[in-house]
Each structure stands twice: as C-alpha cells, then as structure tokens.
Structure 1
Amino acid sequence: MADDLGYEALAAYGNDYNQTPHLDEMIAGGMKFENTHSMPLCTPSRVQLMTGKYNFRNYRGFGILDPKETTFGHLLKEEGYATCIVGKWQLYGNAKQRELAAGQGGSLPLEAGFDNYRLWQVKELGSRYKDPLLDSRETGIELFEGKYGPDLFVDYLESFMEKNTTKPFFAYFPMVLTHDPFEPIPSSTAFSDYDPKTRLNEPELFPDMVEHMDHLVGRIIQKVNDLGIAENTLILFIGDNGTDRDVTSTVNGVLLQGNKGYTNDLGTHVPMIAYWPGKIKAGSVNQNLIDFTDFVPTLLEASGADADSDAVFTDGISFYPQLMGNENPKNKREWVFCHYAPNWGKFAPKTFVHNTDLKLYKNGEIYLLKEDLYEKNPVKKSDLDKNSLKVIKRFEKVLKKMDS
C-alpha cells in the first residue's frame, strides 16, 4: 500500500509523466481496478483496511488503532499464516494523539497480529527515508546511517519470505513512499550528500519517489518468482488516500491537483492492482466499486477461511470472486459509504454515500462525480432525472441505516 498516492499519479490511470514499469507489468499480467476508494486520510484508511469496519464503529483518533480490534493479522494468523508487516506503523499514538483520543492508546505490532516486523514510527519518530530510525522484532530500535528506509523494509520482507516458502504467509507492506518530505532517492546524485535533518521537501522530487516505489514493487515480484511461489501468491497493490496537495499531475493533458484529506474524488480514488499468475486473467479491467472494508473478507476467502462466520464481523464485501472472474451481481457493491471524522488538522468531518456517478452527503448536498471532480457545484434534486432520483433515495436509506 503506497502512502499518499491517488490514482492520477500513475501512468496506468492516465498520468503523462510518472513511469511505473513494474506496476504496468502487474496490470498486464493481472487485474486493474478502476473504482477503488479509500478514506481521504491515512489513519482512517488503515483502521478501515485492517479491521474491515466503517470508521464510525472503531476509529478513535489520528495515529490510533484500538487494541481491542481484531485485524486481518489476527484473522490470518488464526488460519495458520505466518504474519509480517514492514513499513509505516503510526498506530500506537504519541502523547498528543492519545490526549485527543480521550487518553486512549493505540496498538503495537505484536498486539495487532504481526509476529514479524520492521517498522518506522512505532514509539519513536526519526527519519523514514535516509538515515532511518526503524524498529524490528528481532533487534529493536536502530538508526541505519547512510541507508534508505524503503529499501530496508524490502530487505526484511525478502528474508521473511525466504523463511516461509513451505507454509502460508501474509505480508502487509504499508509503504512510507510516496509521502512527504519529498527527498532524493538512492539513485539520485544528491543522495550521498543529503542530510535529512534539513527537511528538504520539494514536490519536484515526487516522480523520483514514485519511480523508487515502483522499483520496490518490482523487487517483491521478482523475489516471489525466484522463490518459485508466484502461482500460489496473491499480490495486491493500492494507495491509502489521495495524493499530497502540493503535487499536481498532468493526466491525459489535464492538470489535476492531489487532494489528500478532502472527500472529493481526488481525495479518495486510489489505484488498485491484483496479480496472481495462473489465477487472475491477465490484462483484465475491473470497473466495480471497491472500498477498504472489502479487504478483510477478501483475504479470508482467499485463505480458505469462512468469511461469513459469525465470529468475523465486517462491513465489507469480498471481491475474491471477481478476481476469479465470477461476475455474479451478488459479489459487487452498489455504493461506497464513508464516515470521515479525521480528528487531525484542518479537515472537517463528513459522511456520504456514492457510486461512480452520484454522491450524496449527509447534509443533503448532491454531486455529479464525472462532471465535477472537485465538487464545486452541488446539484438540486429537481435537476436529476428519474433514475438518478431513485439512486439518491437509495443513498438516503443507507445514510439513515448507518446513522441508527
């Protein structure tokens, strides 16, 4: 899962500049999703992704994962999977985040179902890129001078995979790329002399960071191939929310500004790719709606577990049948619901429901999504045709149900 990477940042979704050959290969050999939606901000997305629940059920505050929650780490561990997480944690909470969450602390990796980990920002901060300060299960907190954090995450992940080729494993990689600060990558001539304490933050370096993110995806796929487990390994790639607002992309000749933190399409619409040689039809395109509650039931179904068990509560719908080419309407969602209470920064809470054409906010605002990406011009019910009115009435029932 890339950090702060909206769909418009990738060439596969029309970006005219950023190059991602390894993601393009995943798409050529797998399935590209056109309508996947996250929450607009990282912690709400991560909590929803890991638990399969809408945020009004369990989101306590920014940087906080309620330790009482069951995650996909717990669930797959119960199914006999070795579990590993590398990358960004940021779910334990610092003093301020705990205060804002009414004194409630977050979770540590072991508490969240991950027996193996190398992570940035568990209890300490430090750099995530050059000279990273990382916490690993085996060695604790270490400063890696002259090293690059994203590369060290994949080093650890590769070692984990090498040790688990004969038994099932679940690896979750919430990347630190492509989040700011925008800094030189290792292949840059500026990397060796760069001091991360200067906090350089140049949006012009964003394409380089996208390139290195893609390079790491390529490393992971190559490792899976080298270990001979490609045909028994499902690889999913997603973004966690919209792109940073300091980043502007040219998409099919049109300038689009990243809208991380905001609830319009450019704040929630993220890339998604599924890759599984021999199982997923190569070059397939999926137009169906996916939201972040859908990953828990999907992963459980892929593992062979009973995703409909009374012991597992989820708001999601498994898209595993879609990966296997099953087009049964029962396997598809008609709408995406979002309860967004960020508890961070300047972003306002909002609740809404949408499909690919229409969006209804709890305050009654209606938007035509394909005509109004930034949601500048709400429309009136009287402006809608009969079919659109039926959709809005259905959305009103969804909002009422979620509010009860």
Structure 2
Amino acid sequence: MLKKIIILAIVVGFAWACKTQLPGSSDSSKKPNIVFIMADDLGYGDVGFNGQTKIKTPALDQMAKEGVVLTNHYSGSPVCGPSRSCLLTGTHTGHTTVRGNPNWTTSGADVVLKEDDITVAEELKRAGYHTAILGKWGMDEYGVSGQANAQGFDYFYGYRRHGEAHHYYPKHLWRNTEKVPLEGNIPEETFGQYSHDLVANEALNYLDERAKSTEPFFMYVAFTTPHYELTVPEDSKTPYENLGWEKRPMKKGHYYNDEEGNIAYAGMVSRMDRDIGRIREKLKEHGMAENTLVIFTSDNGHEYDRGFFDSNGAFKGRKRDVYEGGIHVPFTAVWPNKIPEGSTSNHQSGFWDFLNTACEVAGIAPTKKDLDGISYLNALKGEKQKVHEYLYWEFNEGAGPRQALRKGDWKLVRQYKKDDELYNLSNDIGEDTDLSKINAKKLKELQALILTARTDDPNYELVKIVKKK
C-alpha cells in the first residue's frame, strides 16, 4: 500500500513539474507568443533573401532560411498611415477607418482610429495576451480614441503622431500617454539619442519583462528605418565606406539628412537587421523562441532608391504608387517546428489578413464577421490555404485618386483622368504590358468588381484632394 502511495506521489509530482515550468520557458500548453516586426519604406528588393547584393541583411536572411518567405505579400497601402490601419483592423483601404495620411482627406479632417474599431491588440487581449507597440504608432493625431492604449495595447513606447516619426533625434518620445523628454537631442543637427536604438532596446527590455510571466504576449515592433530622414550613427556606415560606391549627395530640409545618401541608407537597413537579430537572440535566451511566431515585413514600398540598390527588384513604381513597387513588400516568418525551414509560398496575402491570422494562432475567432482578411497561417505552415477572391487598394494624394485590384494573376490599375490599365502578373510582374485594349472581357470583369470593393466615406471620396494647410 505504501509503495502505491509513493508511486502515485511521484507521478503527480512529475505531472505538476511539467505543468509549472519557469516563466518564459517553452510550454506546448501555453498560447503562442506573436512578434510582428515592420520596417518603414523598405523595398521588396532591399533584403538579401529577395536578391539584395549591396546591403547586408544577415539576420533577416537567416530568418528566411529557418522559416518561410511569402513572395506575394502586400502592404495595406502605398503609404504608412492607412497601411497600419489595415494591419490593425483586418480591413483593406476600401473599408478601413484611416485611408490616407494626415491632411489627405476630402473633408479636411484628420482621421484617427475610432472607439468602435476593434484592433488585433484588442482581440488578443480577449485571448489573454499582454500587448505592446514599440516604435511608430502614427494612428493618433489628436484624439483619445486614436491612442495606442485606447486601442488594446497595454504598453506603448515610441512616436505617437505621424509627423513626429520623421526625425531620428526627436526632443521626446512617448511612454503610454506621457511624454518622455530626450535630453540633449538636437533634431536639426542629428545629435543625441538615436530613436531607432531606443525602440530596439525597449523591445529587448520588454522581452526581459515578459520572461518573468507565463502570460502570452503580442509585441508589435514598428521600426521607422529606413524612412527619410536619411541618417544613422557612424558605426553603421563604416562597413559601407571605401567600397567605391557612387555618391548621392543629400540636402537638409524638412528631413535632416546626412550628406551622403547611399551609405546612410545601407547603414540604416543593416542597423535594423542587426536589431532584429538581437530580438530573436533574446527570445532564445529566455527559452521563448519555440513558442513564438515572428513575422517581418515592410509597411509599403521604398521611397529612396533611384536604381543603385535595385530596391524594387522586378517591380515598377515605388512608395505612393499602386503598381507593385508601391505595395508588394518583403515578408518572412519563423516559428520552430511549425513553419518548415527554407520554405516559400506564393499565396496572395495582405496586411488586412494579419488580424485573422493572429486570432487563429491565439485560438479565437475574430469579433467582427465582415472583415476583409483571411488567416494565412496555413500558408506559413505549408498547408492547404484558402485564397482571396481579390485584393484591393485605394490611395489619394497629390496626383488624385488611384485604385488597384488583383484577382488571381490579373490586376487592374485605375488612376485619376487616365484609362484603366490591365496586367497579367503571371508573366508580367513588372507591369510593362497593358492588356486593356486586347482583353476587353477581363477588363470589364475587374471594372465591375472594383465598383463593389469599397464603401463610401465622406473623408475619402474619389476626387482630387486639395491638401489642408
């Protein structure tokens, strides 16, 4: 009898030990953590795993080797504000709340996230996650409803407003709703504490804190690199000096650029890559890597390059274009033992799919049933994946409204006071040959579909906008 009691005690004790592991350690019964890392204005071809040869991105290249690359992933918009709105709310620019950057509205009003918007952070909090946004928020120009802490994030550190993020040596950042003065910073002299470094270190500190808890977490790291202004500390320029590169002199204006652009741009990208590597190492250090899905992408296409870096790869256009160069972005994800190493997927996905994906990872259904997103989790895992009927974008700044719709291999591009353009991306990813004149049936099909892809919004009418002063 005593022997049976001893054996039972050993079994119970072993089971309890397995269940009560140290905080941060791998536990298959714990919901997976999610880390979403986003660059700002990084081109599809700016990373080594998509063919970049001049700029070194070893950490991202290693991530691609250990995980999956999605070759047909799209940002929410060709500029940052609406792209982030799509990411957060699971809706494309025909339906999302913020469809343009500040000042670019037909009503003249600045638009921020509304109280009744349900963000991915709010969904994950419902599933028991601790949530943090570090870096560029850019969804709050003036109002309480647009603040990160009012949209499901437990912790926020970085840039609150859109325009604040244009400078890397700002006089302050924000921690939740409080200003954090950066003593000694002189923005116009690019002197002081480099904001990218502060954000990267905050991400590492956050992971240290999460390692003390058994609570799952969602960490959204929104780096501002390599967005203008083009400036980076000297140690990131050193590897690119004396290589015989052509020079691109830069001037100071709204952006306090360094004197030489190409070296600064490459240094910014590599510094970001370095810190992504540090984030992944920190996850490993705390035993959290195996239970964490890490995603990397960019908020839209590049703005800086004029051909030296081949930032577009094969694509036409850049930031602010609805051609592929403005919206077709790099994407890689890693999740040990869940995502096959060294895999690729040509599944067509967009920023508005992330909310659905995160919900599936967390084991919940999205609150709203009329979202535009479809979870791409199966595509990440190399399994059979549901596909979109179509992908849609709209954008309206100085040149007037632009729209694009992709259905399968076919893409319609509609621009202000121009004839509609039609491309078959299966054999013309560079959008060089307009087929609208020789394939009238397909043109009419997509023209009819694009009329159904958006809802009217008095702030975002499809007319030419006169920018608010």
TM-score by length of 2: 0.73
CA displacement 1:187-216 (0-9 Å, x = unmatched): 2479xxxx9998125431211111011011
Q: What displacement does 1:18 show? A: 1.3
1:86 Cα deviation from its structure 2 partner:
0.6
Q: Is the 8 A contact 1:81 1:170 kept in 2?
A: yes
Secondary structure in 1 matching 2:40: coil
Does the aligned pair in 1 maintain the 2:318–2:325 contact within 8 Å? yes
* C-alpha separation in 2, matches of 1:119 and 1:271: 24
Q: 1:248·1:256 contact (CA, 8 Å) conserved in 2? A: no
Match of 1:398 in 2: 449
1:5-404 matched pairs, under 5 angstroms: 5-38=42-75, 39-57=77-95, 58-59=97-98, 61-63=100-102, 64-68=111-115, 69-93=117-141, 107-122=146-161, 125=164, 128-130=167-169, 133-137=172-176, 140-144=179-183, 145=185, 146-165=192-211, 166-185=214-233, 187-188=235-236, 199-201=256-258, 202-204=260-262, 205-251=264-310, 259-307=318-366, 309=367, 311-328=368-385, 331-338=386-393, 340-342=394-396, 344=397, 346-355=398-407, 357-362=409-414, 364-369=420-425, 375=431, 377-383=433-439, 389=441, 392=443, 394-403=445-454
Moved more, 69-78 or 364-373: 364-373
Question: Contact (CA 8 Å) 1:9, 1:249: kept in 2 or not?
Answer: no
The CA deviation at 1:126 is 7.4
The one-letter code of the counterpart of 2:294 is: I
The residue matched to 2:337 in structure 1 has which SS?
coil
Distance 2:428 2:150 in 1: 43
1:262 Cα deviation (Å)? Answer: 0.9
Q: Distance in 1 between matches of 2:255 and 2:226?
A: 18
Alpha-carbon distance change, 269 to 219 in structure 1, aligned in 2, over 3 angstroms: same
Task: Give the whole-Å Cα distance in 2 for the aligned partners of 1:315 and 1:360.
Answer: 19
Aligned partner letter, 2:371: T
Aligned length: 379
**TM-score computed with the length of structure 1 as normaliser:** 0.84
Q: CA deviation at 1:399?
A: 1.6
Distance 1:282 1:155 in 2: 28
Distance apart, 1:293 and its partner CA: 1.0
Structure 1: how far apart are the matches of 2:316 and 2:232? Answer: 22
CA distance in 2, matches of 1:197, 1:399: 37
Q: CA RMSD of the aligned region, Å?
A: 3.0
In structure 1, how many angstroms separate the alpha carbons of the residues matched to 2:445 and 2:78? 23
- Rounded to whole Å, the distance in 1 between the matches of 2:381 and 2:429 is 32
Q: Distance in 2 between matches of 1:203 and 1:371?
A: 34
> Is the 1:265–1:369 contact (alpha carbons within 8 Å) kept by the matching residues of 2?
no
Are the counterparts in 1 of residues 147 and 160 from structure 2 also a CA contact under 8 Å?
Answer: no
Instruction: Structure 2 unaligned segments of length 5 or more: list them.
Output: 1-37, 103-110, 186-191, 239-251, 456-469
Q: Percent identity?
A: 29
Aligned 8 A contact 1:89 1:121 in 2: yes
Q: Within 2, Cα distance between the matches of 1:359 and 1:257? A: 13
Rate the CA distance shift 1:259–1:161 in 2: closer, same or farther, 3 A: same
CA contact (8 A) 2:133 2:156 kept: yes
Alpha-carbon shift at residue 143 of structure 1 (Å): 1.1
Cα distance in 1 for residues equivalent to 2:428 and 2:274: 34
Distance, in Å, in 2 between the alignment partners of 1:295 and 1:42 is 16
Distance 1:54 1:131, change over 3 A: closer
**2:331 partner SS:** strand
Alpha-carbon offset, residue 316 of structure 1 = 0.7
- The separation in 1 between residues aligned to 2:174 and 2:203, in whole angstroms, is 14
TM-superposed CA distance for 1:272, in Å, is 0.4
